[in-house]
Structure 1
Amino acid sequence: MTTAYGIHLGNQSACLASFTNGAAVVIANDAGDRVTPAIVALNGSEWEIGLTAKSGQALTKSIVKHNKRLMNCDWNDEDLSYVESSSSCRIQNEETLTYEFETSETTQFSGPDNIATKMYAKLFTIASHSMRNEGDLKLVLAAPLHWSNESRDRLVKSAELAGFEVLQVISEPAAAILAYNVEEVEDDINVLVYRLGGSTCDASILKISNGFISVEKSIFRSDLGGQCLTKDLAEYIAKEVNQKWKLDPRESKRAMAKLMHHADNCKHVLSTLNSAHVFIESLLDGVDWSQNISRARFENIISSKISVYIEPVQKLLENFDGKINKIVLCGGSMKIPKFQSAIANLLPDAELLSGLNPDEVIAMGCARQAGMLFDIPEFNLHDVSTEVEFLGKDIYLKYLDQTIQIFKEGTPTYAQNICSVNAGKDVKNISFSLHENPEEEEFAKETFDVENITKPFTLKATLQHSKILLQVE
């Protein structure tokens, strides 16, 4: 069984998932974590990627964070300023963007694309170690909805340089829907996809009809993200330190860097547990800091921000006449229960899908899409950016004394329909005929030998460009 992979590389973290034996699963990294920090650092003369780059961020390290912002060809001064303030390396903005990594041992230069390649190379190593058999690592990537094709191509090239074979790039909201198999519903529905990442958020309304996903409305915000909540928590701890020891960590860049690191870890712990312990060795002037923080305290700290974070959803729903049937949440910051309940309360009649970890949802959707591409017969995996064609008429299937509609008008190509066929035990073969109208003659007919098949069995129909492929399973 071929294994397909899906990757979501975000501003703050990256997640790798695989699809095999009909299921998508997240692959843990070498530290046992299911999510890898999207951080690259030069420590001395050695490159560190992921958790090693994040942990123990000494002043000797030259670090870049939120690199994905500058992978967008349409980046602006706000993006550049954000990456500069978050990182400890200089950024040269002349003909091209270049990071200057300077340590006590060496100075090296690297561009955003090269940093992305280093991240993908780390994930390639993780994926390679998970494979049972040698072979190409085929991959589907996710990109923000508002990115141009040129920006998406940069992601593809970075992943290919790391060793992956990229099958397709899909939008992050579409990947979130695929992770929950929402596109398989029979009725036409509207789905709200809300992603709250480390430094950005976006909300989208997508319509699902006959397995086809279309974007109705979308809002992107580059000023909202989980990093704002981390800062609020770090500020709270700094005030507690100042009150007890009369020392202000906010006056020390090194102390605040430590505080931000531990506050971020604390925030993620409180997303799943009711309390978290913060211990910071030598925070300021040799003083160690130890403190327990409850989820209730954390929720009280961020309570004033909740209305700000649900504002994109409220704006999206303005002048939208349809009904939201389902809600899909993704992005690491959406693990916070207070935010989940705030979105659910905003749309009490919609079903909130929360069975998957929000920071793993997009990667799992990409993996599932990669698995479906392998399952499509005679599909050219190198031609995935062509325009979508739609069926012009209803298609009916006749067999024995049954007549069913297998595809509706407007169904996109490569859609599939699986139906159960209940035939008598003594039936040796069955003829299936296809009709544009039940009363008209068939335009195609195929007969299958079913004598040795366990009954009932399934018939899978795949809508292709010029024909409908029938397969008995």
Structure 2
Amino acid sequence: MAKIIGIDLGTTTSLVSYLKNGKPEIIPNKLGKRLTDSVVGVDKYGTIIVGEEAKRILNGTKIEEIKRSMGTNKIVKLGDKEYSPEEISAEILKKLKEEAEDFLGEEIDEAVITVPAMFNSIQKAATIKAGELAGLKVERIISEPTAAAMAYGIENMEKYQKILVYDFGGGTFDVSILELDDGILDVIATSGDNYLGGKDIDEILIKNISAKIKNDVEKIKLKLEVEEAKKRLSTLMGTDIIVPELNIDYELKREKFEELISPLVNKTIDFIDKALSSTKLKREDINVVLLVGGTTRIPLVQETLKKIFGSKVKKFTDPQEAVALGAGVQAGIKSSEISSEDGLIITDICNYSLGVASIGEYQGIIMPDTFSVIIPKNSNLPCTKSDTYCTAVDDQTSVNIKVYQGENKLVYENLFLSEFRVEGIPKNKAGAEAIEITFGYNINDILTVEAKILSTGVTKLIKIELNNKNKENSDKKGSTYKNSSYYSDYKIIMEMAEDKMSKLSETNREKVSNLLEKMKEMLVSENKEELDKLDSTLTDLLFEV
């Protein structure tokens, strides 16, 4: 069977791995480095370049952190051409594929690709499409924390353990709780934030050092220096950030650095507690905590976790490689290089709740378009669950069933998946006729929805392949500001404003509140020009007060 590679398609860096003599190995790129920057640019000849060379471009003809836009309709410009997020990600995947082919001396046409645990179905589908555009068959995607647990579990299969994976990467934060027992890796809970990572720490530092910088070239120069300073502070108690052309000579002590980023670190602990509470586990029930992702190199992160979990905290040799190594293990299992007797069996969960629109109670008011959950988040897969709904008006003969994915009380804040109409309900008084809706959801992301009129036995069934969901169709059903393709660009300043609100005077609090509401409106309408103006005004106001 042809070799299958494992790919960690990261926000800031990406890696590729393969199985060698039953063990996962990272494939170095042509520069001899194990990490490839997730940056795509064009050189002066108009040729697409990927990786470190692209990262060093200062004139703006490059795209970074495209992973945060996966699953959106955002269009980015590179040179004189426009690209979708999938197309930019495909260029990164092509680069990794080519590096693997050169290293292994054979053609590669299939890969296992990892995604954040909190990616929704549209984002997963976009990742699969990017792989296909890169010439890769992608039949299996796995969550990044699960992949890291596989890298650990393949060496520790004989132990019974409850594992907490703390995955703090460049662009996302995930926490997953898994149970390892006799070669079976059972995912039991996930939580996290697709817009919380090392990039957000960089943004906090940039705004603290020079909040006035808006020019893209200036920001790129400062960002490159901030990234290096952040790394130095993992071993030093202080460092200088010097950018002569911007008149910046800033001394950053580790103490100040930790003060600035502590709200983000504390937020990750909230996600840990949320995941634990969803499974009725306590902190002391965890046997091992695995640190994954480059941001876990920050001493404050390690110290915070050790205060909670003590000696249970374990570090990989390189936390940035753990996910890719796990993807290599999964690739080996899929290609049968790891036998079923020696390999891990993974059981997965539903990362988001699945349900339908219904008439229900919201903030004490009975109203339409509330979200009625049928399969709750963290349900073991495969699973089948049902609920029964009654007619809402007299002589109702049909019902339109709308299916959603998410955790919000109102359906328009969740992800629309599909809809279908059930006809033939007998005329009767409101509430007298009942329809049973049954959801069946499996590990391949296929959801079946069956509606049955209980009085007649008439049924209607649809199948939804969530990994093939069309994002354009979903976007038509409404969006919140957090679904905006620009949300990640303004998330930090908006959260900073919300955190400061309680400490502001009544006058300034009203100003900040109004600016935040306007930003949310502009995010929904994707008005980048107006967002930049509001961002500048809000930044100035926050640093003045």
- Name the structure 1 match of 2:48: 47
3-state DSSP of counterpart to 1:163: coil
1:398-413 alignment, distance < 5 Å: none
Equivalent residues in 2 for 1:51-450 (5 A)? 51-58=52-59, 61-72=60-71, 75=72, 97=73, 99-101=75-77, 103=79, 107-131=80-104, 133-136=105-108, 138-148=110-120, 151-166=123-138, 168-181=140-153, 184-238=156-210, 250=213, 252-272=215-235, 276=239, 278-283=241-246, 287=247, 289=248, 293=252, 295-296=254-255, 298-318=257-277, 320-321=280-281, 323-348=285-310, 351-373=312-334, 374-375=336-337
Secondary structure of the structure 1 residue equivalent to 2:61: strand
SS in 2 for 1:195: strand
**2:62 partner letter:** I
Which has more radius of gyration? 1
Structure 2 length as normaliser, TM-score? 0.56
Other-structure match for 1:29: 29
Verify: 1:17 aligned to 2:14, yes or no.
no
Over the residues paired in the alignment, what is the CA RMSD in angstroms?
Answer: 3.4
Contact 1:249/1:255 (<8 A) preserved: no
For the residue of structure 2 that corresponds to 1:115, the secondary structure is helix
How far apart, CA to CA, are the structure 2 residues paired with 1:369 and 1:358? Answer: 18
Gaps of 5+ in 2: 350-380, 382-545
2:118·2:174 contact (CA, 8 Å) conserved in 1? Answer: no
Contact 2:148 2:292 (8 Å CA) reproduced: yes
Name the CA distance, whole Å, in 2 between partners of 1:310 and 1:386.
25
The whole-number CA distance in structure 2 between the counterparts of 1:28 and 1:208 is 30
Give the Cα separation in 2 of the matches to 1:385 and 1:174. 9
Contact preservation (8 Å) 2:3, 2:108: no
Quick check: 1:116–1:158 contact (8 Å CA) kept in 2? yes
Task: After TM superposition, give the deviation of residue 205 of structure 1 in Å.
Answer: 1.2
SS class of match (1:334): helix
Structure 1 residue 249, shift from structure 2 partner? 5.4
**C-alpha contact 2:117 2:191 (8 A) present in aligned 1:** no
CA distance in 2, matches of 1:145, 1:304: 22
**Contact 1:36 1:50 (8 Å CA) reproduced:** yes
- Percent same amino acid at aligned positions? 27
Say whether the 8 Å CA contact 1:274–1:295 is kept in structure 2.
yes
Tell me by how many angstroms 1:339 deviates: 0.2
Query: CA offsets per residue over residues 43-78 of structure 1, 9 Å max, x none?
Result: 4523232222221322xx333333223323xx5xxx
Whole-Å Cα distance in 2 between the matches of residues 206 and 378 of structure 1?
A: 20
Provide structure 1 residue ranges, at least 5 long, that are not aligned to the other structure: 76-96, 239-247, 389-411, 413-473
Quickly say closer, same or farther: Cα 1:143–1:251, change in 2 above 3 A: closer
**CA, structure 1 residues 277+27, in 2 after alignment: closer, same or farther (shift >3 Å)?**
farther
Q: Partner of 2:245: helix, strand, or coil?
A: strand
Q: How many correspondences in the alignment?
A: 342
* Residue aligned with 2:268, SS: helix
Q: Equivalent residue for 1:90? A: none
Alpha-carbon separation, structure 1, partners of 2:304 and 2:262: 11
Residue 117 of structure 2 aligns to a residue whose secondary structure is coil
Q: Provide the rounded CA distance (Å) in 2 between the counterparts of 1:42 and 1:194.
A: 35
Query: What SS does structure 2 have at the residue aligned with 1:339?
Result: helix
**Mean Cα displacement is larger for which, 211-220 or 270-279?**
270-279
Deviations, residues 165-224 of structure 1 (Å, cap 9, x unaligned): 446322212101011126743343211111112232121211223322222222122342
Distance 2:348 2:289 in 1: 28
| CA displacement at 1:300 relative to structure 2 | 4.5
Deviations 1:266-304 (A, max 9, x none): 213333556655443522xxx4x5566554553354345
Q: What SS does the corresponding residue of 1:250 show, helix, strand or coil?
A: coil
Check the 8 A contact 1:4/1:138 in 2, yes or no. Answer: yes
Contact 2:68 2:171 in 1 (8 A): no
Q: Secondary structure at the match of 2:213?
A: helix
CA shift for structure 1 position 251: 6.1
CA contact (8 A) 1:249 1:256 kept: no
CA distance in 1 between counterparts of 2:238 and 2:7 reads 31
Q: Deviations over 1:330-378 (max 9, x none)?
A: 2221121220221122123x62220332221101110122223332569
Q: Bigger shift: 318-327 or 189-198?
A: 318-327
Q: Residues of 2 paired with 1:13 and 1:363: CA distance?
A: 11
Q: Cα gap change, 1:216/1:102 in structure 2, threshold over 3 Å: closer, same or farther?
A: closer
The Cα shift of 1:324 comes to: 0.6
| CA distance, structure 2, for counterparts of residue 304 and residue 145 of structure 1 | 22
Q: Alpha carbons of 1:7 and 1:275: their partners in 2 closer, same or farther (altered >3 Å)?
A: farther
Residue by residue, what CA displacement relative to the aligned partner does 1:14-52 show, whole Å, maximum 9, x if unpaired? 112222123222223233332222122234523232222
CA contact (8 A) 1:143 1:169 kept: yes
Structure 1 residues 251 and 121: alpha-carbon distance in aligned structure 2, compared to 1, 3 A threshold: closer
Whether the 8 Å CA contact 2:192–2:268 is kept in 1: the answer is no
1:433 equivalent in structure 2? none
Which residue type is aligned with residue 339 of structure 1?
Answer: V
Give how far 1:164 is off. Answer: 3.5
Conserved? CA contact 1:183–1:211, under 8 Å: no
**Inter-CA distance 249–184: structure 2 relative to 1 (3 Å threshold):** same
Distance of 1:385 and 1:188 partners within structure 2: 15
Structure with the bigger percentage of helix:
2
State how far apart, in whole Å, the 2-side matches of 1:188 and 1:378 are: 19
CA 1:316/1:280 → structure 2, altered by over 3 Å: closer, same or farther?
A: same
**Aligned-residue offset at 1:143:** 2.0
